[in-house]
Homo-oligomer: A and B are copies of this chain.
Amino acid sequence: MLYDSIIVGAGPAGVSVAINLKILNKSFIWLAGSEVSGKAASAELVRNYPGLPDVTGKQLVWAFKNHAEQMGLEPVSGQVTAIYDLSGRFAVTAGTETYEGKTVILCTGVHASKPIAGEEQFLGRGVSYCATCDGFLYKGKNIAVLSTDKSFEHEVEYLCSLAGHVLYMPMYKNCTFSAPNCEVLVKMPKEIAGGLKVQKLVFDGGEREVDGVFILRSSVAPSVLLRGLATDGGHIVADRQCRTNIPGVFAAGDCTGRPYQYAKAVGEGNVAAHAAVDYLAENK
């Protein structure tokens, strides 16, 4: 199925896009790496979302989620790892699924960490973001796994069940993960190097030969996600209609820059949805 739109992300901006596309009667799929929550729910007190004074982040996110559910909308779980521009339509890969849409609306939030040197260069040639998709390629092999969050440990476990040896570098505190064929090393990764394919991982104070590197993060840098997408200081460059430099691709919320605010995110979600509908009308 070719959707009118593919929404990537289920924070406040993503919710706003979904609600508007539904009202505007467009077909779409709504992809979320994590639940409608994450960072957005962490605020202790939100005083500046007009109409809902003095709510906690949790309450506000609940209100957003509830609003979407009342309209029959629920995001499909799937960490998006790549978007391909097929001129006139887009293919979006999430987990082992690929979806096609005439437009893509990126609501991916702030991407906290910088890519590691060599990460983009070796993507698809030894670097992978998805254990489920690519794990089988490394049966019995020697791999490194980098992860930014404890919640990815079940994926590390899955990789350990396949690979010969796993070098696991947790980039979070209090890692308690262990497996017989796994070495846990608390170091900062510096570079992924090799020739045609990945050959080694360089880290603070050393390096190790590996056949592949899995990078497990809650979000992928937008410029890595979609080749050619213009970014500035880690933010997606968007105009006042939330259009990016790629026709048919829109961006809303924290991923477009500061201020990182609920009201800005839902406002941009609204604008991006309307801009996508305008684009669809012009490109029938």
Chain A residues near B (Cβ < 8 Å): 12, 15-16, 19-20, 23, 47-54, 60, 63-64, 66-67, 70-71, 238-240, 256-259, 261, 263-271, 274
Contacts and interface: CB of A to CB of B under 8 A. Distances in A.
Give the dominant DSSP class at A's interface: helix
A63 B53 CA distance: 9
B270 A264 contact: yes
A43 to B, nearest CB: 13
A219 to B, nearest CB: 21
Given A52-B51, A54-B70, A270 B274 contact: no
A16 B47 CA distance: 11
A261 B270 contact: yes
A11 to B, nearest CB: 11
A181 B271 CA distance: 51
17 contacts: A16-B48, A19-B47, A19-B50, A49-B266, A51-B51, A51-B52, A52-B52, A52-B63, A54-B70, A238-B240, A240-B256, A259-B271, A259-B274, A263-B266, A264-B271, A265-B267, A266-B266
Contacts of A49: 51, 266
Contacts of A12: 50
Q: What number of copies of this chain does the assembly contain?
A: 2
A234 to B, nearest CB: 16
Given A259-B270, A268-B267, A271-B259, A48 B20 contact: yes
Nearest to A268: B267
A12 to B, nearest CB: 7
A15 B48 CA distance: 10
A230 B52 CA distance: 34
Q: List the 3 shortest-distance A-B pairs measured between CB atoms, nearest first.
A: A267-B267, A51-B63, A263-B270
B60 A51 contact: yes
Contacts of A19: 47-48, 50
A263 B274 contact: no
Nearest to A16: B50
Nearest to A270: B263
Contacts of A264: 267, 270-271
